Amino acid sequence: MTTNAAGPGREFRERELHLNLFIYPGGHHEAAWRHSSSDPDRLLDIRFYQDLARSAEAVTFDGVFFADGPALADNVRYASRFRLEPFTWLSAIAAATERTGLIGTASTTYSEPYNLARLFASLDHLSGGRAGWNIVTTGAPQAAQNFGLDAHPVHAERYERARDFLEAVTKLWDSWEDEALVADQRSGLFADTDRIHTVDHEGPLLKVRGPLNIPRSPQGRPVYVQAGSSEDGRAFAARYAEAIFTAHQTLRSGQDFYADIKKRAARLGRDPGQLLVLPGISPFIASTEAEARRLHEDFNELTQPEYSLELLHRLLGIRLTPQQLDGPVPRELIETQGERGNGSRFQLVLDIVEREQPTVRQLLHRLAGARGHRVFAGTPEQVADQIQQWYEQGAADGFNVMPPWLPGGFDLFADHVVPILRERGLFRSAYTGRTLREHYGLARPASRYAPQGAAVSVA
């Protein structure tokens, strides 16, 4: 494995590249379901997803990741943008795998701490310590009415609740000490109730008594994963996150984010090496660069303007028509003030508009591949070069691999890119642990009720 600084102020140590498979129904390109290599009839077949997870495990990926949202995505008329409830799906995947991590999205805005703590604790026990929680505050305003609200809470309010929520669930996951479950058949003592604690959480927005009705899970608590890169998101991630999913179009942008988030964590007294930065990459892979570019163009030709323009409206707030596709993106119509302007994905797309001055069609094709995550077309060696450059030049600790289509897009990565990464000494050839924390090299947190200075294990 390569040796590099893990972050500002951290001693040089051995690093290990981390890779997750980000599973989206059909693939991440919006037209994936239309491509001849796709099989949309399998998109609701759990065996399809179990096979994908087994493929990820076969090449020792750290985890598989399922995104979720509590509302129907805009314009599902033209793309496979439904949502599979991740706990059900990941539980079925847990039964079909042994090592790969299981990361699912759950909203702090539209969930309650006690219910969510139970779900993730159950998944962690079920999988033998492989659960990760992708913490989101939910950006889709249409979710509000699904939960009896007249309006979606504004950005700052959602993050205030998220902080309160994290404090509450962390206390719940600690409410059973590791030694509380005794199960001594001879004495008849099942649980040491002196080691089970009410949490009596009273925050600015949430009140939870506890304790949790499930013993402490194998990892102590699931891995905290976070995906927001706004100012509020960065502050939240620096305090709580152990892995960050982020989107960047350029190496410089990735480096700036990486340095910023590690410094923020260090200022809060955290070890920056215990916070992983994992950008998304969606690779089109072929034996030559020209063939990879043609493959990318084939997918873009299958996009439908009605869907793409709706996505652009959601991201930038501007309504355009098919007649404007080959004209410049009207920068003067993009309003940077207000709620939308707080979003990190808004800023990413705005940066593309200002830096590259694309036509509307060109911008839509940029976004079609992975909704703002980096799309790269090239040979396996070129894809590996990109990953190595970002990893070694301070922009990433690893990547969320976002195949444009499934399963073929991932098969190409697994069969042709992973061997190159291994030859270069960047990626493992075998698992050395069983839990997601061990894969990520993260400490198992000691319970807040453990004696002061109690040791924590680090993979």
**99 in any annotated domain:** yes
Which whole number is the average pLDDT over 237-251? 95
**148 in any annotated domain:** yes
Residue 4: pLDDT band with limits 50, 70, 90: very low
Does the annotation place 449 within a ligand binding site? no
List pLDDT tens digits, range 35-90: 998 989 999 999 999 999 999 999 999 999 999 999 987 678 888 888 899 999 99
Q: Is the pLDDT of residue 102 over 80?
A: yes
Question: Which residues have a Cβ under 8 Å from the Cβ of 404 and sit 6 or more positions away?
Answer: 27, 28, 29, 32, 282, 283, 284, 296, 299, 369, 370, 375
- The pLDDT value recorded for residue 340 is 67
- The pLDDT value recorded for residue 65 is 97
Residue 235: pLDDT band with limits 50, 70, 90: very high
Does the annotation place 28 within a ligand binding site? no
**235 in any annotated domain:** yes
Give the span between the Cα atoms of 142 and 340, in whole angstroms: 14
Residue 365: pLDDT band with limits 50, 70, 90: confident
Q: Is the separation of the CB atoms in 414 and 58 below 8 Å?
A: yes
- The pLDDT value recorded for residue 227 is 86
**75 in any annotated domain:** yes
Dihedral sign from CA coordinates of 157, 158, 161, 167: negative
Does the annotation place 229 within a ligand binding site? yes
Does the annotation place 80 within a ligand binding site? no
What total number of domains does the chain contain? Answer: 1
Burial classification of residue 335, based on how many CB atoms lie within 10 Å of its CB (0-12 exposed, 13-18 middle, 19 or more buried): exposed
Which whole number is the average pLDDT over 293-304? 94
What's the pTM? 0.90
Which whole number is the average pLDDT over 253-281? 96
Which whole number is the average pLDDT over 232-239? 93
CATH number at residue 217: 3.20.20.30
Q: Is the pLDDT of residue 12 over 50?
A: no
**457 in any annotated domain:** no
- The pLDDT value recorded for residue 341 is 58
**214 in any annotated domain:** yes
Q: Is the pLDDT of residue 194 over 80?
A: yes
Which whole number is the average pLDDT over 425-442? 97
**39 in any annotated domain:** yes
Residue type at position 367: L
Tokens of 136: 């989101």
Instruction: Say how many CA atoms lie within 13 Å of 29 toward its Cβ.
Output: 34
Residue 339: pLDDT band with limits 50, 70, 90: low
Does the annotation place 38 within a ligand binding site? no
Does the annotation place 155 within a ligand binding site? yes
List pLDDT tens digits, range 211-227: 999 999 999 999 999 98
Q: Which residue has the higher pLDDT, 98 or 355?
A: 98
Q: Which residue range(s) make up the domain with 249? A: 18-284+374-440
- The pLDDT value recorded for residue 434 is 97
Helix (H) or strand (E) holding 66: strand 63-66
Mean pLDDT, the chain, rounded, equals: 91
**222 in any annotated domain:** yes
List pLDDT tens digits, range 126-180: 999 999 999 999 988 889 999 999 999 998 999 999 999 999 999 999 999 999 9
Strands 223-226 and 243-246 come out as parallel
Q: Is the separation of the CB atoms in 133 and 227 below 8 Å?
A: no
DSSP string of 193-214, one letter each residue: GGGB----EE-SS-EE----SS
